[in-house]
Amino acid sequence: MSKKILIVDDDPDVVLFLSTVLQDQGFEALEARNGQEGFEKAASERPDLILLDLMMPEKSGISLLHDLKAEKELAKIPVIMVTGVSGETGIDLEHFFKKPSSGDSGDTAPKPDGYIEKPVDPQRLLKLVQELL
């Protein structure tokens, strides 16, 4: 049985590209167009891995990641952030995702299990997917 990977992205071209890359390697690609739909699909389909865009309407990728990690049944699903935000904003994603969150409460924001920048290099994506599965 092939592994199911949920792609949560509001850009239909990105979804088509990622789906094609994954299906060519024998994965089953599931799709969601926003964070709310992504959460519902993750809950109903129980994918083996989630590719998650950072900036989306209705629910951001960070908000969805937080909701996923808060649900016992979904918390163990590996999540790879797929984003073009660093090119648009200059944010250093590696530093952003690895830094500890500030505050004395002991609360830490959930971090993705990996990240990849757009435009996505198919070989790098597949390598990261294999590592996390």
- Per-residue pLDDT band for 32 (boundaries 50, 70, 90) equals very high
- pLDDT at residue 87 in the model: 46
What range does the domain containing 88 cover?
4-132
- Per-residue pLDDT band for 97 (boundaries 50, 70, 90) equals low
The total number of structural domains in the chain stands at 1
Name the nearest CA neighbour of 83 among 62, 101, 98. Answer: 62
- Per-residue pLDDT band for 54 (boundaries 50, 70, 90) equals confident
Name the nearest CA neighbour of 6 among 82, 109, 70, 117. Answer: 82
Q: Write down the H helix ranges in 50-92.
A: 61-70, 85-89
CATH of the domain at 38: 3.40.50.2300
pLDDT for residue 42 is more than 70: yes
